[in-house]
Amino acid sequence: MIRYALKCADGHGFDSWFQSAGAYDSLSEKGMVSCAVCGSTDVSKAIMAPRVTVKEDAAPLSAPSTPAEQALRAMRAELEKNADYVGETFATEARAIHVGDAPERPIWGQANLKEAKALVEEGVPIAPIPFGPPRKTN
């Protein structure tokens, strides 16, 4: 495993672990590395100093380290618990709920910029969320 300090085009810095340097390159080329703050896929490696930690001082890898990360984790858990994930059909599903063709319920998913603008122009209440789709597990 290798850890990289990354930054997006908007200047957000974050760290991420990869199986290898080649794994990072492969995922990055496919647009599968995204900013942990804004979701942008325009991500590059940031300059980082080597880190040597004493085992006693190391924080658990799964624990969020900042209040912002903790808030995002809590927000995501609440969203996943109370809303239906509709994926790439978000625009269609949101529109159907808005006009009454589908049962009213909280949903979340992905929409491209054109779809999102169209929904706003149609008066469909939507809001961006600061994270991407749920990860698939094997």
Q: What is the pLDDT of residues 14-57, one digit of tens each?
A: 888 999 989 999 998 998 999 888 888 999 988 877 766 666 66
pLDDT for residue 138 is more than 60: no
**From edge to edge, which strands make up the β-sheet containing 43-45?**
13-18, 2-8, 43-45
Q: What is the pLDDT of residues 71-123, one digit of tens each?
A: 888 999 999 999 999 999 999 999 999 999 999 999 999 999 999 999 999 99
| The pLDDT of residue 53 | 61
3-class SS of residue 121: helix
Distance (Å, rounded) from C-alpha 99 to C-alpha 132?
26
Contact call for residues 122 and 98 (beta carbons, < 8 A) = yes
